[in-house]
Amino acid sequence: MKKNKVLKNLFLCFFVVAGGACFSISKDSALFKKIHSAYSGADYPAVIEYSSRLQKDFSSSPFLEKALLCKGESFFYLGRFEDSIQTLNELSSSEKNETKIFSNYWKGRSEFSLEDFNAALNSFYNSSSISSGFNKKNKEINFVYRNSIYYAGLCNYSLHQYEKCIPIFESIVSSNEYENDIFCSSLQILFDCYTNENEYSKLVKKYEELSPQNISCYWNVSFAAGNAFEKLGQKKDAFACYEKIALNAELPLSAQALQKACYVSTEDFPLLLEKAKSALSCENSLLSEFWIRLGIDSFEKNDFDSAQKYFSNAEDSDSEKKYSSLIGLYKAELASENKIAILDYYSAKRIDKKYYAEYELAYAQQYAVLSDFKNSLVHAKNAYEKTSPEKKQIKQKSLYYYCLGLYSTGKSKQAISLIEKSKENSDAESKYFFAQKILYARCLAENGNLESAEKIYKNFFEKSQLNNEQKYDYAKILFSLGNMSECKKVADSSSVSDAVYISALASFNMQDWKNSSTGFFKFIAENSKSSKISFAEFYYGYSLYKMGESAEAFNALKNFSEKYPESSLCYSSCIVSANSALKNFDFENAIVQAKKALSFFSSQEEKENSVLLCASIYSDSEKYQDAIKFLEPYAKNTSVFSIRCRYQIALLNSRIGKISEADKIFSEIQNKFYNSPFADESSFRRADLYYNLRNYETAAMRFSEYQRKFPKGKFIDASYYCSADSYRKLAQIEKSVLQYKILVENFPKSTFIYNARKNLSEIFEEQKKYEDALEQQKFILLIADSEEQRKTAEQKISFLKNLISGENSDLALLEKRYVENSKTATFEGRMAGTELAEFLIQNEQPKKEVFELAESLFKIQSSEKNQAAESSYAARTAFVCARYLRFLNKNKEAAQRFLVCAEFARKSENDELAQKAIYGAAESFDAAKLYADSENSAKTLLELYPKSSYKSAAQKFIKNN
């Protein structure tokens, strides 16, 4: 307002000087005199009224421009900025520079007040541009000029055009023409522009040029300078700035400087705080706050010694005990022991209500550390219920300890319900979101909801957020869910010792014996005192056994039963160690371990398995009598196991040739124990005994008996097959066919079905019942499970069709002779194959199959081993190959193959085939346009066979003939 008053007086002087010569007793001059008087008395409504009257009644008055200027300015002072702008715009056509200067200035002021900074900037620019040309001695114009520049700078600043502001305000603060308030305002704005444009060096330079005397804003700009020093990395200078402010400036700036100093150098700040004690002597609470701030910062940086010291200082400064409760919380947290006692001490001083929940939470946390979850639960519940939703962090933390207390006291279902109902920690941004989710997963797992727990752990595992203990817990859940591969992956990523065990166990369940043995070996070596050590040693031995490391497995499992005789795994270790010894043909140790298992069985089934294992070891070591003797005591009653022992004794008797004794026991089981699980097999074995002895007549009778007694027996299909084969061997073909037919018609899925139909086809072919044989081959083609079986069936079908139709019977017979003589495997087969290839190439269009047949025959016939005996056949198959290549127009290859044929034909003295082949070579070379080779072949033919029937035909390939 002071600026405006000065400007107003100057403006008034201008009008008096400029308009004095015009004063007269005219009406307009009298009215203007009233305007002047009202303006001088700051009666702005009157100025506006008189000016409006003059404008209306004396539109051509020489006082009009001056009146409008007064009116526009008056509107400005009354806050009617739009009216001021409208009035001053009426002067836009004025030709007087003075009028332009003042009208643009006041218009700019009104636009500035309306925050139309772009318009204001234009007005101030116009005012300053015109006024700059005036004599500096004109005080009123010079004043408007300076203020236009200042306000132009303010406009740019308001428009955030800091770069444009800088030269304006630099010029202002460098000038001595501005009042102190404009200077200080400009200096602060300049420093702010430097800061926004990152011109920190300029700011520091300008600051260092300043003298603190007579600058009312010095401490404010010092604050900005401190910030600039910080940005330039000159922390020492920054701290010095803040220190000066803190020790010399008034509150609250000194307090703000202390905060900044603390941020710049926490090392130097405590000393500054000590110096500031006197300055803050009347502000003990503020001093205590700073010590607390220092303490909290040190605490969060894990500098607990410093934190302890600062909280003690805070407590000393806190004469009103305003912060006692807060200090107590941190002192309890910082204490190395007796934390609960410290909480009790400060609690006794009457806890500030706003820290009640924090104290309850602190108690809950400390009791949880001591594993006193019962007390922890009580305090956590209080903390949770007494904390308002606005205190999110405390609410979240107290919920976590509340649920932890429930979980740890066997109330995990309540914990689940509380977590699912609460909103706390549901936000991923919550500090306790992760811990709460993991606790939730543990509660779910404890209540059997493993799938939901696994999803939570999986999400955090994929984000690499789980610690080693949590990875181990996750691996256990995966193991329980049967996801062994993922379990191993997770367990391998944890460094918890038991994670090695669960990883090895997962490998064990996946039958990955190598990783299983490696893992258990590592666990045993590193965890000799673990409660899982005995299990690890057993699984290690078993894994070795499965890997085929029988000797190592035997030693590991033998030692296990000796080391842990009370273990529930002793029986299994003895059984597996016995089997390990068996694999090494160490029958002596095998029988010792198998018999030892009889000392550890825990069920009748385990006892029976041990007995049978002992018997099998005796049997494998060919001590059949010892096996029989061992089983006899267990074969005396009528239990299922006793009958099984009898059955095993019968099998052993059959092995040592005591057929009658075996048959007698099988018969006894068949007849006396018809309902036992071994009656069926015993009956079949009676027949099988004689079938294997090739006593087909007795075998057929016994198989027939088995079919009557056990029409739905598990060996019924085998009985029909063996019975059919027995009858065939006895030349009782009709009975054989009947047995085969019963088998194929009633047991289409039997493993004997292929051979049964094959045998039926052979029988029908022998009986010249070709259509019946063909029918069987068609069935065989449908059930064939290999390419060879299918190909054989297709050949048989083709052969039988030829026999049935009477066409190509020669071909069918050739094919049959080729197959019956084992194809290329025998000399006779290769002879038949050669004839078959020749037949096919002569009577049918050449096919690739014919070429492949001839090629395969030639390779064997021309081998060093066979060519002496089979050169004549090699020549013939080579000729077939040459004809096929000629058919394909592969003329050069055909010619070469004809020459090979000729070579083998001459060796076997087959001159007719040799001549034919040499001519074929000449003809093929000619077709390939290899005329020189063709001519040489023709000359060779005439030299070797001058009387050849191909003489005249060959001569056409010879030039100049």
C-alpha–C-alpha distance, residues 149 and 128, integer Å:
7
In a domain, 586, yes or no: no
**Assessment of whether the complete model's pTM goes beyond 0.75:** no
DSSP string, 626-691: HHHHHHGGGSSSSSHHHHHHHHHHHHHHHHTT-HHHHHHHHHHHHHHTTTSTTHHHHHHHHHHHHH
Helical axes 827-843 vs 848-861, angle rounded to 10°:
150
What are the tokens at 259?
A: 């905060």
Tell me the percentage of the chain whose pLDDT exceeds 90. Answer: 36
Q: Return the closest-CA partner of residue 599 out of 634, 575, 563.
A: 575
**What is the rounded CA–CA span in Å between residue 852 and residue 841?**
12
Tell me if 52 is assigned to some domain: yes
- Indicate if the pLDDT at residue 837 is higher than 60: yes
Greater confidence (30 vs 601) lies with 30
Please report, for residues 549, 552, 595, 733, the alpha-carbon distance to residue 584 in angstroms, rounded to integers and kept in the order given.
10, 11, 18, 49
Q: Where are the alpha helices (DSSP H) in 235-303?
A: 235-248, 253-264, 269-275, 284-300
What single DSSP character describes residue 354? G
Place of tokens 């000065």: 6
What's the token pair of residue 775? 């029918």
pLDDT, residue 400, reads: 87
> What is the rounded distance in angstroms from the CA atom of residue 220 to the CA atom of residue 236?
19
Tell me if 117 is assigned to some domain: no
Bigger pLDDT: 91 vs 352:
91
Q: How many domains would you assign to the chain? A: 1
- Domain assignment present for 492: no
Question: How far, in Å, CA of 927 to CA of 904, rounded?
Answer: 24
Asked whether the beta carbons of 634 and 641 are under 8 A apart, the reply is yes
Q: Kindly state whether residue 240 falls inside one of the protein's structural domains.
A: no
Q: Which pLDDT band holds residue 582 (cuts at 50, 70, 90)?
A: confident
Question: Which pLDDT score is estimated for 674?
Answer: 86
| Stretch among 259-263, 374-378, 632-636 having the lowest mean pLDDT | 259-263
pLDDT in tens, 278-290: 666 556 566 777 7
Does position 802 have pLDDT exceeding 60, yes or no? Answer: yes
For helices 570-583 and 550-563, give the axis angle rounded to 10 degrees.
150
Give the CATH number, domain containing residue 45.
1.25.40
Helix%, strand%, coil% for the chain, nearest 5: 75, 0, 25
651, part of any domain: no
DSSP H or E segment with residue 906: helix 891-907
| Structural domain range at position 66 | 27-91
pLDDT band, residue 316 (cuts 50/70/90): low
Residue 53 lies in a domain: yes
Residue 125 has pLDDT above 80, yes or no: yes
- The one-letter amino acid code at 588 reads E
For the residues 525-542, what does the mean pLDDT come to?
Answer: 87
Eight-class DSSP state of 464: T
- Whether 291 and 269 have beta carbons less than 8 Å apart is answered as no
Residue 84 lies in a domain: yes
Binned at pLDDT 50, 70 and 90, residue 530 comes out as confident
Q: pLDDT per residue over 56-88, tens digit each?
A: 989 888 999 899 999 999 999 999 999 999 999
Q: What is the pLDDT of residues 854-882, one digit of tens each?
A: 999 999 999 989 988 999 999 999 999 99
Task: Count CA atoms closer than 13 A to 225's CA, side-chain side.
Answer: 23
Higher pLDDT, 346 or 707: 707
Mean pLDDT of 622-642: 87
pLDDT band at 960 (very low <50, low <70, confident <90, very high): low
Under 8 Å between Cβ of 429 and 394: no
Give dist(CA 877, CA 871) in Å, integer.
10
- How far the first Cα of the chain sits from its last, in Å, is 136
Residues constituting the chain: 961
The two tokens of residue 505 are 């166990």
CB 385 within 8 Å of CB 400 = no
pLDDT digits (tens, 9 = 90+) for 553-565: 889 888 988 888 8
Contacts of 397 (CB under 8 A, 6+ apart): 361, 431, 432
